[in-house]
Structure 1
Amino acid sequence: MPPHAVLPTGSAHAKAILVGEHAAVYGHPAIALPITPLRTVAEVHHCPGPLRLSTGDASLPVTELPQRFASVGVAAVESLTFFGLPAEDVEIVVRSGIPPQAGLGASAAAANAIVEAVRAYAGVALNDASRFALVQTAERVAHGNPSGIDAHATRAREPLLFADHVATPLTLGAPVCFVVADTGVRASTDDAVAGVRQIVDADPALGRSLLARLGDLTRAAVLDLEQAHLTAFGRRLTEAQDALTDLGVGHPAIDRLVTAALDAGAAGAKLTGAGRGGCVIAVTPDAASGQVVQSAMTAAGAVAGWIVTLGAT
């Protein structure tokens, strides 16, 4: 690749789970929302020697990456291999604006960005199934047994219903505003998933009941969004928070932000992602009320916040 060439680039964005996290691992549906203001960009640079990966902190050969970057290293190696390219004379530079371990799909966004950058470097097309498989290969390193939601949602442009391992666009009957706030508490997705598994194994009847409840709330939420029943939709979110707390993935910081959002007029609020920290998502009818809710969550301790407004589809 000559020095003056346009750099092959790929990008992806964050995601939030509206309802259905954890239950999706057990075969129940989930709804995912793209958080497009938060993005990860990957670029392919010419660099003599073995394949390197730069994450902003440092540039290292992929064989020397610390464990927390293992999944992005796998995304780079597997993508080059898929396109029949040697894993040498290349540096992949990754710049992410997505907080890690916040339930926003940072690892899947990085993998998606890398796959697209390598695809552009190879100069060939890539079908959706192959792209998904490459991202999932990296996600298995990051999360063990990922549902596939993040791989789809970090490239989607609209909310997705994820059911039976298939992602389909979700219809919105009216504009909706979502407010995402970061508790600042970082937690391991793997630990949260393992904690839920322990509850399910220790008390199967309780575990199955809570997971089924989340599945029922997800299916009802789909109809609420399609029929523009925002009050009912918000209530599903808050009820889902109760079920997730019973599954052991709550946290006092989450409770504070949920309470602040509801007190400020949000129709509903809950954690998003694995829980035990990370982010809270609240729903409001418009951006003006979203600003009020965001300010309330900031006053309650949120370290960052983002507003996503979607029109009717």
Structure 2
Amino acid sequence: MRVIQASAPGRCGIIGNPSDIYGGVVVSASIPNRAVCRLTLGVPTQLPSDPTLWNAATARFPLEDVKVEWSTSIPRSSGLAGSTALLAATLACVLAARDEPPELRTGIGLKRFSELVRDIERNEAGVQCGYQDAYMVVHGGIQRMEFAGKRPDQVGPMATLESLNSPLPFLLVTTGVERLSGSVHGPVIERWMKGEPEVRSAIRRLVRLGVTGCASHMAHRWDNLASAMTENQDIVSNLGGSGEAIDKLIADCLACGAMAAKLAGAGMGGTVIALTPDPEKLKAKLSERGYSQFIQPSDEPGLQFEEF
């Protein structure tokens, strides 16, 4: 009996999201929460109650006679790439079980596997998704990612990544409202494909914000980053990607002393990332207002096989 286990972290978008879908620049950080897949080979097949991601992975790479066990500490449908992290861990295990393990020790190997994860999520699982999730759960850390040449209708070349060694003065706060990011991306992509000037202009602004916001983050110009995050949120909101729960949480973050707050992912619900010089103080104040789900971004390893 052979057992294989892998895990991958969630992620939070700091600035520029969701311009990764449109050839933009995004800065993201990993979170300590991880999704885990464990495969036991050579036993009668046992699948999770919802096998959607398993079916997506094995549609491309069949595998039988296996017990599949999943666990995760990434909040469900919260815009923190939880599904992508679980798919990446599962796909890595499947390939290893087929004696075709992904190459995770080289930059090109990590990029190729990131592209494979996104391709399967989009075309086998049918999720309207960008690229930052797949790249982040595979690479981990704090990354500046440039997706030049990618569009909703064109995969384009692999992304260019730069690992950042920067502070993370942020606090993630989850609304508790579950939303699938694809339900927000889909309508905007459709409008972009139709060439709507408002959408095309907004995406161009997001691309510029990714560039300038990254420079501010690397230079520790927090006031400038706060302005960029606020504009990023305004653009997403105007495109229909915010919602009542998010708007209230952002207002509460600002009232409790945050310099800025914006969607980290999963529009109309999901999670907010707040820029703050004192995450613990902000957490305490928000707790008094009834919020209870907090995560602090951290420089975590990406996809990895695990011993147990």
TM above 0.5? yes
Where in structure 2 are the equivalents of 1:1-313 lying within 5 Å? Answer: 1=1, 7-35=3-31, 37-46=32-41, 48-49=43-44, 51-54=45-48, 58=49, 66=50, 69-76=51-58, 78-79=60-61, 81=62, 87-122=63-98, 125-127=101-103, 128=109, 129-140=111-122, 141-163=124-146, 164=148, 165-172=158-165, 174-197=166-189, 199-200=191-192, 204-285=196-277, 289-309=278-298
Distance 1:134 1:96 in 2: 21
State the identity as a percent.
Answer: 24
Cα deviation 1:21-49 (Å, max 9, x = unaligned)? 232222222222111x2111111113534
Q: Which residue of 1 aligns with 2:305?
A: none
User: Given residue 159 of structure 2, which amino acid in structure 1 is its aligned partner?
Assistant: V
Cα deviation 1:44-80 (Å, max 9, x = unaligned)? 113534x4323xxx4xxxxxxx5xx41232224534x
User: Given residue 136 of structure 2, which amino acid in structure 1 is its aligned partner?
Assistant: A
User: Given residue 114 of structure 2, which amino acid in structure 1 is its aligned partner?
Assistant: F
Structure 1 residue 237 displacement after superposition: 0.8
Give the unaligned 5+ runs of structure 2: 104-108, 149-157, 301-308
Q: Which residue of 1 aligns with 2:154?
A: none
RMSD of aligned Cα (Å): 2.5
Cα deviation 1:190-219 (Å, max 9, x = unaligned)? 221123235546782211221111111111
Q: Is the 8 A contact 2:144 2:164 kept in 1?
A: no
User: Given residue 78 of structure 1, which amino acid in structure 2 is its aligned partner?
Assistant: R
Q: Is the 8 A contact 1:158 1:169 kept in 2?
A: no
Q: Is the 8 A contact 2:164 2:218 kept in 1?
A: yes
Detail structure 1 runs of 4+ shifted over 6 Å in the superposition.
none
Cα deviation 1:84-114 (Å, max 9, x = unaligned)? xxx2221121111112221111111011111
Higher relative contact order (CA 8 A, sep 6+): 2
Corresponding pairs, count: 283
Give TM-score scaled by structure 2 length: 0.82
Q: Secondary structure at the residue paired with 2:38?
A: strand
Q: Secondary structure at the residue paired with 2:138?
A: coil
Give TM-score scaled by structure 1 length: 0.81
Which structure has the larger Rg? 1
Distance 1:142 1:74 in 2: 5
Distance 1:301 1:208 in 2: 38
Distance 1:130 1:205 in 2: 34
Give the unaligned 5+ runs of structure 1: 59-65, 82-86
Distance 2:256 2:210 in 1: 24
